[in-house]
Homo-oligomer: A and B are copies of this chain.
């Protein structure tokens, strides 16, 4: 059985590590730029908490990376002093962060030079699904690489029911960017509907019920509607992430010469959410911009304080 290393053990990475450990895989090495996170999960799973990326590569055959953004993803493979590609010949990298398609393409090229293989494993699910092994997992890269690690990927994606091979390097990241672009539009749109309903003093429970029975229904109505009413914005997927992902999609649109006014408006709303200091809240926190009497305001009227809750378990 392959030894697995995991780089980036935040909420997602740590739960993926736990899941793989649970189904019998050996997590031999973990790394995080925030050392205490690495130490904690290493102790929990009997792994080595590495201080260097090259050390993690040496201890693993299959390496999952679950980092935050383009810059973090690139530095894992390009940092001159220390990177994952030192001694990486024959190893496989599975990159699970939501990063730009071009970053995946660059990483694939760098890995190839180092005689290693690389695969995108874009996830369209959240923390709970990571732990349960029921992630919706979209993969891209060489088909042979996908087949080589399929056994492991299946354990993360409901025995493969939620596993999809999308195409060559960058393609899964494109699909992921589109998923999040549309999800963010639906979320920001829902926040407008409920916020206006609140301003009109409608019964918001009835309004939500009507939405759910009609053409206004959506997945985000089910996942975020109640939270918008209750101002429960504990974080599954942050407003800052939403802004980043809509930005990636708009970058693709620009290159493809597509004008997408709703995606643009959504990006502006999530940027505003970040600028107003709510970027760490869940994406449902976009409702702080649309409900009357909420959010940060520069007017003399004091707005209702925002109840910031801790992350959910």
Contact = CB atoms under 8 A, between A and B. Distances in A.
Interface of A: 124-125, 136, 138, 162, 164, 166-167, 171, 174-175, 178-183, 185-190, 192-193, 195-197, 199-200, 202-203, 206-207, 209-211, 213-220, 223, 249, 252-253, 256-258, 260-266, 268-269, 290, 292
Nearest to A188: B262
Contacts of A220: 215
A214 B219 contact: yes
A130 to B, nearest CB: 15
Contact of A258 (B183, B196, B257, B263): B196
Given A182-B190, A185-B186, A264-B265, A258 B195 contact: yes
Contacts of A257: 199
Interface centre among A180, A256, A262 (most CB of B within 10 A): A262
A153 to B, nearest CB: 16
B124 A206 contact: no
Contacts of A263: 189, 192
A197 B209 CA distance: 32
Given A186-B216, A215-B220, 4 more contacts: A136-B210, A178-B197, A199-B256, A199-B258
A180 B216 CA distance: 7
Contacts of A210: 124, 136, 138, 164, 175, 179
Contacts of A219: 214-218
A62 to B, nearest CB: 24
A70 to B, nearest CB: 18
**The 10 residue pairs across chains A and B that have the minimum distance between CB atoms:** A185-B189, A183-B215, A218-B218, A199-B256, A182-B216, A217-B219, A182-B193, A124-B214, A261-B265, A192-B260
B213 A124 contact: yes
A136 B213 CA distance: 8
Contacts of A162: 213
A214 B125 contact: yes
A249 B290 CA distance: 14
A174 B190 contact: no
Given A136-B210, A178-B196, A186 B189 contact: yes
Contact of A136 (B193, B206, B214, B266): B214
